[in-house]
């Protein structure tokens, strides 16, 4: 399994659509450990209108651990088979580890400032 995190300077970027890059971890679910890490360049523009969902899905990503994210972006990711947990913050590896330990829950935080431009 693979998980992605919108990142800036190795931390969760609270603005999914304008993050610096995405950190992608490969996960061994049986051992509950991170086995590989790679970086994917972020596209220019709003996350919900870019091709990032398709790109990440083609890489095998099935989960996005994010800060705030508008409903449009959540829908686009969901339509590509990627579940979303919002309300995450901190260093990316630490956040991924928290998810492995089962301590992360979706906060439902959305990016209301851009809701108008991300509805489909």
Give residue 111's pLDDT.
42
Give residue 28's pLDDT.
94
Give residue 91's pLDDT.
96
Which pLDDT tens digits describe the chain residue by residue (120 residues)?
A: 999 999 999 999 988 888 899 999 999 988 989 999 999 988 765 555 578 899 999 999 999 999 988 888 889 999 999 999 998 999 999 999 999 988 887 766 554 443 333 333
Give residue 115's pLDDT.
37
Eight-state DSSP code of residue 42 = P
Is there a contact between 19 and 44 (Cβ–Cβ < 8 Å)?
A: no
Residue 98 φ/ψ region, left for φ over 0, alpha for ψ in the -120 to 50 degree band, beta for the rest: alpha
Contact partners, residue 11, CB within 8 Å, separation at least 6: 89, 90, 91, 92
* Separation CA 92–CA 115 (nearest Å): 25
In CATH, the number for domain 2-101 is 3.30.420.130
Give residue 17's pLDDT.
80
* Separation CA 55–CA 10 (nearest Å): 20
Is there a contact between 20 and 81 (Cβ–Cβ < 8 Å)?
A: no
Give residue 116's pLDDT.
33
Q: What is the pTM of this model?
A: 0.85
Strands 61-65 and 83-85: parallel
């Amino acid at each position: 399994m693979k998980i992605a995190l919108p990142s800036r300077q190795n931390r969760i970027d609270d603005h999914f659509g304008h993050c610096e890059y995405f950190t992608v971890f490969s996960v061994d679910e049986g051992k509950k450990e991170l086995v590989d890490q790679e970086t994917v360049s972020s596209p220019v523009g709003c996350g919900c209108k870019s091709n990032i969902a398709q790109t990440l899905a083609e890489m095998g990503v099935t989960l996005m651990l994010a800060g705030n994210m508008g409903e449009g972006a959540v829908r686009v990711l969901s339509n590509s088979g990627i579940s979303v947990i919002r309300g995450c913050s901190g260093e990316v590896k630490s956040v991924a580890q928290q998810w492995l330990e089962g301590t992360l829950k979706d906060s439902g935080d959305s990016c209301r400032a851009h809701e108008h431009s991300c509805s489909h």
